[in-house]
Amino acid sequence: MDKILRIDMGAEGGPRATASPVGAYTGLGGRGLTSSIVSKEVDPLCHPLGPGNKLIIAPGLLSGSIAAMSGRISVGCKSPLTGGIKEANAGGQPSQMLARLGYTAIVLEGKPKNGSLYKIFINKDGVKISEDMSLKMLSNYQVVEKMKGEFGNKIACISIGQAGEMRLSAASIAFTDMELRPTRHAGRGGVGAVMGSKGVKVIVVDDTDLPMCQPKDPEKFRAANIKFVEGLRAHAVTGQALPSYGTNVLTNIINEAGGYPTYNFKQGRFRGAAKISGETYAELETKRGGLATHGCHKGCVIRCSGIYNDKDGHFISKQPEYETVWAHGGNCGIDDPDKIAMLDFLDDDIGLDTIEMGATIGVAMDGGLIQFGDADGAINLIKEIGKGTPLGHIIGSGAEVTGKVFGVEKVPVVKGQALPAYDPRAVQGMGVTYATSPMGADHTAGYAVATNILKVGGDVDPLKPAGQVELSRNLQVATAAVDSTGMCLFIAFAILDQPETFQALLDMLNAFYGIELTAEKVVELGKTILTLERDFNIRAGFTSKQDRLPLFFKNEPLPPHNVTFQVKDEELDTVFNW
């Protein structure tokens, strides 16, 4: 990867692509690169949907190589949902392909003046940008089918559905998996709306006849990769739990812990949890001819995805992830696995963040629009978004907007972004991450569940404030660094518990680039990324007031433990004091 592909969508005479050296961004990948470009090149006061914003799509440092788990990709911009900096992360095939094509990043700049819609085709021969109005208001699955018909089956696609075209703040960007299905999404923060504002419907990537990215020291790299994989397979979470039941293995665990937000964060346990657990989904997938264990990209050894079929054996969706099952399930009082899978499919097809959508429907239910437990009503609300109706525009704009429209007092958002599937009163470390992450409420920014609940990397009592700030700080720093490598964040379980697995990751990076990266330098990288992100938000007008949870988490005890969020504001303000 030795060049950045910049595409000016607002250039005179039509969009123009230029490839330039990486230059000042040398040594960066993934989130480190997206946040650096946004911080340096985007005016923090620009309108997120205006020509001044940029959308950066960046593979990780190890993407395109034989390194296991290295197929993640980062998408960065100023968020139309939070108003601050955003990095959203996805799996799928495009990261590996873009890296093998030699691109460290794609940067979409400017904005078409005429409302045209474009497709972009990238292969070893270069870049072709074509206006294609036949793609207008197509869903993600429809777009991918058209691209397969035009370019064949050896491609990968990066696309938006109707939500992105309508520039709705909950819009995601879809990345195709190994079956060329648009099932992997950079979901959070409305990044799909920014892609829509650039007039780009789909980016098609074809790496035919191109070799894997080669390390500086192949023998050391190969040996480190083998040791790394051995470590992942030896750990109980990455070697057993996730491959067996996917991320949804957490439903029974978090429900038992009393931290499973139910009925729009009113209680910490859901009676129907067992009906929608990872164990139940895996059993149904196997019984119906789907797959309970499946990778979202080549080189995945954890294989926490799956394929979910209906009772007649027909594909509905990929295996719904834990966050999706919670958002559309317990949070909305829905315990029908088939209905939740259909909601997952609709979100993927229309191009919506499943977390934001589940939280939004929970808020709408609280406002009396439909009743808790009304699965068909929830499905119809998502369909309204795809149709582009006024109600669809409201729901597709996220939980905060929907709460205002329907007069709901308790709206679970931070910096305008909906909270994920762990109640911060019962998992206090997650509350610190939700409140203080530059990204808005985001579980992946500093996954304190690992230590609070799963006891990975130590043991910090989830119901008490002691130790939560330090825990979240350390995890946010480590996560920012991992997000730069192209590695799946789930490797963190093994590297937190197994020093030799962490060393194997360092050895891979060192052998690949011919550098001498140490644990201390990894920490410095994470701190540098977070500092850039926080600086952008400060310049955008953020203050410590944005680093807070909604008041009801402090004032209303959560059953069954009847606890409130207890970390004090002055402690939250010390998270980034290094």
Residue where a domain terminates, one of 422, 445, 475: 422
**Structure-token match 């879809």, residue found:** 174
Same domain, 287 and 413: yes
94-113, pLDDT tens digit by residue?
999 999 999 999 999 999 98
% helix, strand, coil for the chain, step of 5: 45, 15, 40
Q: By mean pLDDT, which of 139-148, 236-245, 319-328, 467-476 is the weakest?
A: 236-245
Residue 90 confidence (pLDDT) = 96
State the Cα–Cα distance between residues 413 and 86, nearest whole angstrom: 15
Same domain, 25 and 173: yes
Proportion of the chain above pLDDT 70, given as a percent:
100
Q: How many distinct structural domains can be found in the chain? A: 2
CA quadruple 242, 99, 184, 296: dihedral positive or negative?
negative
Residue where a domain terminates, one of 180, 205, 230: 205
State the Cα–Cα distance between residues 239 and 236, nearest whole angstrom: 5
Residue 545 confidence (pLDDT) = 97
Confidence at 290, pLDDT banded by 50, 70, 90: very high
Question: Is 170 a domain residue?
Answer: yes
Q: How far is CA 5 from the centre of its chain?
A: 23
Question: Is 228 a domain residue?
Answer: no
Q: Could you tell me which of 395, 88, 399, 169 has the C-alpha nearest to residue 265? A: 399
Q: What residue spans of 101-154 are helical by DSSP H? A: 140-151
In a 10 Å sphere around its CB, with 0-12 CB exposed, 13-18 middle and 19+ buried, how is residue 84 labelled? buried
Residue 115 confidence (pLDDT) = 86
Same domain, 166 and 52: yes
The DSSP output letter for 239 is I
Average pLDDT, the chain: 96
Residue 184 confidence (pLDDT) = 96
Residue 298 confidence (pLDDT) = 85
In a 10 Å sphere around its CB, with 0-12 CB exposed, 13-18 middle and 19+ buried, how is residue 552 labelled? middle
Domain that holds residue 184: 3-205
Question: Is 450 a domain residue?
Answer: no
Same domain, 185 and 282: no
CB atoms inside a 10 Å sphere around CB 405: 16
Helix/strand/coil (H, E, C) string of 148-171? HHHHCCCCEEEECCHHHHCCCCCE
188-225, pLDDT tens digit by residue?
999 999 999 999 999 999 999 999 999 999 999 999 99
Same domain, 293 and 383: yes
Residue 296 confidence (pLDDT) = 86
Q: What is the pTM of this model?
A: 0.97
Same domain, 171 and 274: no
Q: What residue spans of 78-211 are helical by DSSP H? A: 94-100, 140-151, 162-165, 191-197
Residue where a domain terminates, one of 162, 183, 205: 205
Beta partners for 203? Answer: 120, 158
36-75, pLDDT tens digit by residue?
999 999 999 999 999 999 999 999 999 999 999 999 999 9
**Structure-token match 């949902």, residue found:** 81
Confidence at 230, pLDDT banded by 50, 70, 90: very high
Question: Is 395 a domain residue?
Answer: yes
Residue 358 confidence (pLDDT) = 98
Helix (H, G, I), strand (E, B) or coil at 210: coil
State the Cα–Cα distance between residues 358 and 363, nearest whole angstrom: 9
CATH of the domain at 40: 3.60.9.10
Residue 566 has pLDDT above 90, yes or no: yes
Same domain, 200 and 266: no
Question: Is 272 a domain residue?
Answer: yes
Same domain, 290 and 181: no
Same domain, 159 and 290: no
CATH of the domain at 400: 1.10.569.10
Beta-carbon-side half-sphere exposure of residue 291 (alpha carbons within 13 Å): 13
Interacting residues of 256 by C-beta distance below 8 A, sequence separation 6+: 269
Same domain, 13 and 125: yes
Interacting residues of 236 by C-beta distance below 8 A, sequence separation 6+: none
State the Cα–Cα distance between residues 80 and 52, nearest whole angstrom: 13
CA quadruple 522, 430, 81, 147: dihedral positive or negative?
positive
State the Cα–Cα distance between residues 482 and 489, nearest whole angstrom: 7
Question: Is 128 a domain residue?
Answer: yes
Residue 114 has pLDDT above 90, yes or no: no
State the Cα–Cα distance between residues 49 and 63, nearest whole angstrom: 29
Same domain, 147 and 72: yes
Q: How far is CA 463 from the centre of its chain?
A: 27
- Ordered DSSP codes for 62-88: TTTSS-TT---EEEEEE-TTTSSEEEE
Residue 234 confidence (pLDDT) = 96
Question: Is 470 a domain residue?
Answer: no
The DSSP output letter for 23 is G
Q: How far is CA 386 from the centre of its chain?
A: 21
Residue 1 has pLDDT above 80, yes or no: no
In a 10 Å sphere around its CB, with 0-12 CB exposed, 13-18 middle and 19+ buried, how is residue 147 labelled? buried
Same domain, 298 and 374: yes
Residue 299 confidence (pLDDT) = 85
Question: Is 417 a domain residue?
Answer: yes
